[in-house]
Structure 1
Amino acid sequence: MQRLWLKITGSYLLLSIVFILVLWFFISSIIQNTYTDMTEDHLIENAQLVSEVITLGGLDKDRQTLDEWIARLNDEIDLRYTIVGKEGAVIADSESDIETMDNHLNRPEIEAVLVKNQEIGTSTRLSDTRDMSMMYVAIPVISNDEIIGAVRTSVSTESIENAIGAIWKTLSTILFIILLISVISAALLSYNITKPINRVINVTKRLQNKDYSARINANYSGEIGNLNTSVNALAASLQSHVNEIEESEKQLNSIMSNLVSGVVLINDHGEVVLTNHATERFLSKHTSKIEGKKFSLVFGPLGIDHLIESVIEDNVKSHDEAHIYFPEERILDVHIAPYYSQGWQQRGAIMVLHDITAIRRLEKMRSEFVANVSHELKTPITSVKGFAETLLSGDVPDEKTAKQFMQIIYDESERLNRLITDLLELSKIEKQAMPLKITDVDVNEVIKNSTLTISNIASDKNISLHLPDNDQPIHIEADSDRLGQIVLNLVANAVNYTSDNGDIFIDVKEEPETLILSVRDTGMGIPKESLGRLFERFYRVDKARSRHSGGTGLGLAIVKHLIESHHGEIHVESEEGVGSTFNVVLPKTQKET
């Protein structure tokens, strides 16, 4: 803005100088012409006066008196007077000796009067007598209507130039003062003009630097005031729009960050321009390794780059599934669609990634559950049906065999009953149709009561049950029946998978906020590949032994759900041929729900 101030001041200065120069030459020309004319008129008046004095005083006849009078006249008036006769001879001169002066008839001013009979003769030339530039004026001397000679008055042009020079100096001083005042006025005027504009520029620069709180706080009238009002209104509107955009951006970022589905935006050049945390999690890559990269480099390993390319080129939607195997196996449901800018101009593609690994795993578990239930039901039903048909056919050879067949039918029906009962109970637990009755429970007492029902089976296999050494009560908040069911199922599972003459250790350890119940056996152990599926329905490590023992394959699934309903956790440690340890971690107090 300093440059604008200088431009205005400089332009005004230049204009003022041009105007002063024009005015200078115009006034100086007028003054010079006017002063020259005034000098000429003055010479004419003096010449006329001398002419009248000569005529009226008869000095033309008394030349001695004329010379004396002319000499005195020169002392009083700073002019040169020359009296010339009719034939051009110099009769008298106020400054020079007439004896040394030649005939003046050829002088332009004398010639104009005496020869050409003009009323006035004038000329400005170099004086032959005085050797300087002079202004001459001559008029005729008339006596009895006859020209008897001429009177010439003259003055040095140097005096005229000196007088005009003095006027010029005065004029120069005045014009310089006018120029100075004009420049100062122009500077003040341009400053007053540019100062409010500077304020506007400063505010616009702050707005450009994203300081949307900038305002013009000065009050001006006229167009500047209107400009300030408009800029303030523009700044307020811009601030409002920016706040809305920032709020929308925060909302969008919050939504994008918290989406469990991955969102990817790809421009028409095939570059990833936007992604979210879910996509980073799915691809196990940081945003810096996704955004700005070609989609073929990012999604090529998933085998969906051709789908993205077809969406961008053909402007159609696409859907498929993609598999990721590192760092863990995932199944992604991929939806790709074109996205558009204003005017429905295609700008690229938007892709949404849904993690359907859990859904596919659940579908697989359901399928396996149906197959397992069918298999578990089919075996006892086949046995019951086969032995019943044999009994009904009458082909049983003796009563002992018939009784053995009926015992098998009874055992298989009991197994069916246990299976159906466990399924119904597991279903109720999962649906929370059996609310817990939370009371203050002595864990040691529950362990003792629960192991009584399984002690006979353990004794038959000569398995030693080792209960907690501490007989002191250990209290927690829990459902007594459900806690007993957890202990019973874990101990029964340990008995089933522990060989004869083995040991089962039950221990309780208190922590500040939790209680750890552990059941350790010296049984066959569990392979590492089976640990992750141990709590699935109908999953058996040793299917032959489990069926032989009459297990339904639902005990550990029930245990896990009961522990989770108590806000606890269960962990398994096992080594094949050494044994397994189930650690149940339960909070001492239950949260209110």
Structure 2
Amino acid sequence: MFWRSVVGKLAITILLLVSFVLFILTILLLEFFESFHVSEAENEMMQSAGKMARMIEQSEDRGFSLKNATLMKDSTSRIVIMNRDKGEETLDSTDAILNEADTDWLRNDEELKKVLSQTKSIQKETVLPNSGTEAMVVGTPIGQDRALYIYKSLKTVNKTKAETTKLIFLAAGIGIILTIVFAFFLSTRITKPLIKMREAALDLTRGEFNTKVPVLTHDEIGELAMAFNRMGRQLHFHINALRQEKEQISSIVNSMADAVITLNRNGNMLLTNPPAQQFIQNLNYEQEIKSSDENPITPEPLNETLSSVIQDEKEVIREINTQGRTWVMIMTPLYDHTTIRGAVAVIRDMTEERQMDKMRQDFIANVSHELRTPISMLQGYSEAIVDDVAETTEEKNELAQIIQEESLRMGRLVNELLDLARMEAGSNQLNKEQIDTDAFIERILKKFKGLADDNHVELIAEKHLSVTAVIIDADRIEQVLTNLIDNAIRHTKDNGYVKVSIEGTETVLNIAIEDNGSGIPEEDIPFVFDRFYKADKSRARNSEKKGTGLGLAIAKNIVEAHGGTIDVKSKRGEGTTFEINLPLQT
């Protein structure tokens, strides 16, 4: 509204101030001119009365003196001369309209009688009793027995006062109008740059930092406009710098493999990167908490750690396990001068590191275990031969046969370890050659026909080949298929089946080995291709044919060396399917 704006406030302030001054000045001027006109009229009448009294007193011709007195007065005045003769008063007047009744007030007025008593001159304002006219009366003594009275109607004085009042009010009105014009001109002159600066400030709030305020004057307001423009430029510079810094930090945080979460003191999440969002989803899923992007819910482990950070005012390290993964969280307090305003948490997925540590430990333990048994048997049976425990040749040959089998077992283990190490190091070269696909598969199946019959397992082959020849390392792929088919037969119950499905096109060769055996436990599926990893030992059909735990690891490396993939699907009690996809060279 108008009176809420700077223009209105300034204009109204100036108007009220000038109006108050003009009001006081008008009152004082009215009082002054009113007193001035009455005082001037009284002084003029008193001077005229004195002159007339001296002239009448010095003149011997009474009629002549009255005639001269009449000429000296103005047209609105009346002259009365009263004589005192033997206690009686006579009236001489210059106006025929005055009669004795009109002058009763002169005879009866106690104050005017003092003039006849030769005491003093008198002036007063009164109302004529006959006509009710306001008049001013002046009386002065003449000689020893007479007095001169001049009275005059105040209508003329009042008319003059009214004209003067009109002039004063007119001047005051003109002053008010000029004040209003000046106030609006001045306020507009002052506030126009302020309005421009307000509009520019609103533009700044909307991010339009190139807005400039025109410099209209060279006074304080002009300096303010220049300072505002400098502020806009500096703000633009700093905002751009902050935006670049924010984008840089955001890019760094989003590109980090570790999860980063920033929380305020109340536990609300202010900043998260993609790994942190995945971590929060896992925690909320495990705790059965429904959260959304609009209203994210901070998981309880973060709230507990934040409370510890705020209470102890120091860094807290915590390990969190969720969805089968291990996370290590480091939460550090964020300070606002001396108080903690929140915390930043850096969370790293340590699952692979822990698995690697476990694999390293398991590798040493497995190698030690796998080597300890044959070494112990070699040592024991060789001591038996040396100590002549075996007396007959047949017994010695039997012990030697066992020593030979254990030596071969150790050799296989060492060779598999060496092959796996070479494959993982990338130093094992493939000897690819073109082979007949149908003959290659038939040869492998024929090799396992006897084993399948001995274990009462049906060996099924399904072939859908659109090409007759492929280029692969036949020995290595045969090693993979041998390992998978052997495992499938050994882990399939009587009257079960093992199906080998082959589909070949010009670009890819798909091989699937499916069985309806005992299956692999769900928790073991992600680790079946790890070295020395063995699933539930109860899956082994023939305990005497337990593997070393390296076959699937070697198979995976061989397939990946061909540029392919190997995957496993299994359900406990329903069976297992291994799928191999090999890209073919054209």
Question: Shift of residue 574 of structure 1?
Answer: 5.5
AA aligned to 2:150 is T
Aligned partner of 1:428 in structure 2 is 422
1:77 to 2:72 alignment: no
In 1, are the aligned partners of 2:437 and 2:470 still within 8 Å (CA)?
no
Where 2:370 maps in the other structure, the secondary structure is: helix
The answer to whether the Cα contact below 8 Å between 1:89 and 1:105 also exists between their aligned partners in 2 is no
1:191 and 2:188 equivalent? yes
Distance 1:246 1:401 in 2: 87
SS at match of 1:84: strand
Partners of 1:447 and 1:580 in 2: CA distance: 24
Residue pair 1:272, 1:291 contacting (<8 A) in 2 also: no
Structure 2, unaligned runs of 5 or more? none
Q: Verify: 1:445 aligned to 2:416, yes or no.
A: no
The correspondence of residues 265-276 of structure 1 with structure 2, limited to 5 A, is 271=267, 273-274=269-270, 276=276
Check 1:357–1:397 CA distance in 2 against 1; reply closer, same or farther (3 A cut). Answer: same
Deviation of 1:280 (Å):
0.3
Query: Residue 586 of structure 1 corresponds to which residue in structure 2?
Result: 582
SS at match of 1:284: helix
Q: Which residue of 1 aligns with 2:135?
A: 134
More displaced stretch, 460-469 vs 557-566: 460-469
Q: Is the 8 A contact 1:458 1:495 kept in 2?
A: no
User: Given residue 33 of structure 1, which amino acid in structure 2 is its aligned partner?
Assistant: S
Answering whether residue 91 of structure 2 is matched by residue 90 of structure 1, we say: yes
Whether contact under 8 Å (2:491, 2:539) holds in the other structure is: no
**TM-score (structure 2 length as normaliser):** 0.77
Which residues in structure 2 correspond to 1:423-502 (within 5 Å)?
Answer: 423-434=417-428, 445=436, 448-449=439-440, 452=443, 455-456=446-447, 458-459=449-450, 469=463, 472-473=466-467, 482-494=476-488
For structure 1, the residue ranges without an aligned partner over 5 or more in a row are none
Aligned AA for 2:283? L
The verdict on how the C-alpha distance between 1:81 and 1:378 changes in structure 2, with shifts beyond 3 A counting, is same
Change (3 A) 1:356 1:290: farther
Show the counterpart of 1:509.
Answer: 503
CA drift at 1:77: 2.5
Alignment match, 1:526 = 519
1:125-176 deviation per Cα after TM superposition (whole angstroms, max 9, x unaligned): 23356543222334566xxxx6684543321012211222122223322221
CA distance in 2, matches of 1:465, 1:61: 175
Task: Report the CA distance between 1:428 and its aligned residue.
Answer: 1.9
Partners of 1:381 and 1:94 in 2: how far apart? 169
Q: Give 1:223 deviation, angstroms.
A: 1.1
2:175 — aligned with what?
Answer: 178
* AA aligned opposite 1:32: E
Contact 2:127/2:133 (8 A) holds in 1: yes
Amino acid of the residue matched to residue 125 of structure 1?
Answer: T
Distance 1:205 1:528, change over 3 A: same
Alpha carbons of structure 1 residues 42 and 589: separation in structure 2 relative to 1, 3 Å: farther
Q: Is the Cα contact below 8 Å between 1:268 and 1:348 reproduced in 2?
A: yes
Choose which of 152, 156, 161 in structure 2 pairs with 1:155: 152
Of all paired residues, the percent bearing the same amino acid is: 24
Q: Does the 8 Å contact 1:73/1:94 carry over to 2?
A: no
1:387 aligned partner: 381
Equivalent in the alignment of 2:37: 35
Partner of 2:325: 330
Q: CA deviation at 1:549?
A: 4.8
Judge which range, 78-87 or 573-582, deviates more: 573-582
Deviates more, 1:544-553 or 1:356-365: 544-553
**Could you tell which deviates more after superposition, 479-488 or 25-34?**
479-488
Q: Separation in 2 of the partners of 1:386 and 1:37?
A: 154
1:83 maps to amino acid: I
| Letter aligned with residue 181 of structure 1 | L
Is contact 2:466–2:504 with CA below 8 Å preserved after alignment?
no
Equivalent in the alignment of 2:125: 124
The structural deviation recorded for 1:569 is 3.0
Deviation at 1:23, TM superposition (A): 2.0
Q: Is the 8 A contact 2:260 2:346 kept in 1?
A: yes
SS at match of 1:167: helix
SS in 1 for 2:503: strand
Q: Tell me the amino acid that sits aligned with residue 77 of structure 2.
A: L
CA distance in 1 between counterparts of 2:301 and 2:186 reads 67
Question: Offset at 1:97?
Answer: 4.2
Shift of 1:35: 2.7
2:20 aligns with one of 18, 21, 37: 18
Q: Alpha-carbon deviation of 1:298?
A: 1.1
How far is the alpha carbon of 1:60 from its aligned partner?
A: 0.5
Matched, 1:219 2:215: yes
Alignment RMSD: 4.6
Q: Cα–Cα, structure 1 residues 580 and 48, in superposed 2: closer, same or farther, change >3 Å?
A: closer
2:264 & 2:464 partners in 1: Cα distance?
69
Q: Is the 8 A contact 1:477 1:588 kept in 2?
A: yes
Contact preservation (8 Å) 1:121, 1:137: yes
Question: Pairwise mapping of residues 258-337 of structure 1 onto structure 2 (< 5 A)?
Answer: 259-263=256-260, 271=267, 273-274=269-270, 276-284=276-284, 298-299=300-301, 305=304, 311-324=309-322, 328-337=323-332
Give the paired residue count.
566
* Whole-angstrom distance in 1 between the partners of 2:574 and 2:278: 42
Counterpart of 2:350? 356
Letter in 2 for 1:536: D
Structure-1-length-normalised TM-score: 0.77
Q: Does residue 370 of the first structure (1) align with residue 357 of the second (2)?
A: no
